[in-house]
Amino acid sequence: MAIAPVMTAPLRLRLDGDALVHNWRWLKAAGGSAACGAAVKANGYGLGAVDVTTRLLDAGCRDFFVATWAEAVEVAPLLPEDASLSVFHGVRAADMEAALASRARPVLNTAEQVARWKPTGRACDVMIDTGMNRLGLAPGADLSGLNIHTLMSHLASADQDVVQNGRQLELFRNAAATITAQRYSLANSAGICLGADYHFGLTRPGLALYGGTPRQEAAGQIRPVVAVEAEVLQRRRIEAGESVGYNATFVAHQPMELAILNIGYADGYLRAFSGKGTAGEGRFSIIGRVSMDLIALDVSSAPEVGEGDWIAIDYDLPSAAAVSGLSQYELLTLLGRRFERIWR
């Protein structure tokens, strides 16, 4: 029988499991007496839902959140009996078979979902809309007959100091006073930083677990989890007057040495970094446009860099967001499947 050759990817994510656990523990402590869960939707914000969930379980996390039932299928088998899993998008008619076969709870968002789930008699979570105007039921919705485990809402602007935060808090408090549930939950990563009034019985961090800084209160406390590295495929020299990349957006004013790296917008490193992004802790600038699979770096100052070398892309989430105009959430969740993910 022929043995398949071992394939190695020319781009990789180095993922720091200790930093992930540290971030969860800091968020848990910041949330006071509230239980601290973890949003592991979108494949663990791009890091790998199975790997993230396993590490957070070992750290003591017992409440996990995904977006869809397909994501629940991946995470649910990992969980011990004392852990819970919630599906944010509720339960469509097409989801009922999977939902009834799963240990996960739907987060009911519409009157139709309430009517669909109520006859089962099984536990559920409920999302109350307090001003996000995305998913969720109105605060006065008829929830009679439901076995509600967690009543929750979602803050729209917790990363900013705005009046809306207080309004949402008041609406959620009013709802919690009239709706019986085992637990109540309002705060995401940024909401945890708003203080004890927002914590209730359960917090639901996402971004900050993975190295994002949701508010200034978390700066210096949250550790980076993701390091992006790409391999040099070619070193080349260009002369003054020569252009680089699509549409010749960069023209050299003097001779330069370039390193061509195996990473591009198909991997989530988007064209927003064209002419703005850096690598090697600011030592190397991106030259020309980011392509689907490739970028060019100015390595004129680094004669030692050559084919087969690995270079770290500067990907500190707050800094990269400021440079690119992308959100920290996008920077994480867009990281593609072609990366080899290496945990330590």
Strands (E), 116-178: 123-127, 147-152
* Catalytic member of 118, 198, 210, 246: 246
- Tell me, yes or no, if 246 is annotated catalytic: yes
Sheet strands side by side (includes 123-127): 35-36, 202-203, 183-185, 147-152, 123-127, 105-108, 84-87, 63-66, 38-39
- Tell me, yes or no, if 41 is annotated catalytic: yes
C-beta neighbour count of 240 within 10 angstroms: 10
Give CA–CA dist 237/257, Å, rounded: 5
* Catalytic member of 28, 41, 210, 265: 41
Strand partners, 84: 63
Alpha-carbon distances, residue 148 vs 79, 92, 153 (angstroms): 21, 18, 14
Per the CB < 8 A criterion, the answer to whether 151 and 183 are in contact is yes
Please give the span between the terminal C-alpha atoms of the chain, in angstroms, as a whole number. 34
* Catalytic residue positions, numbered: 41, 246
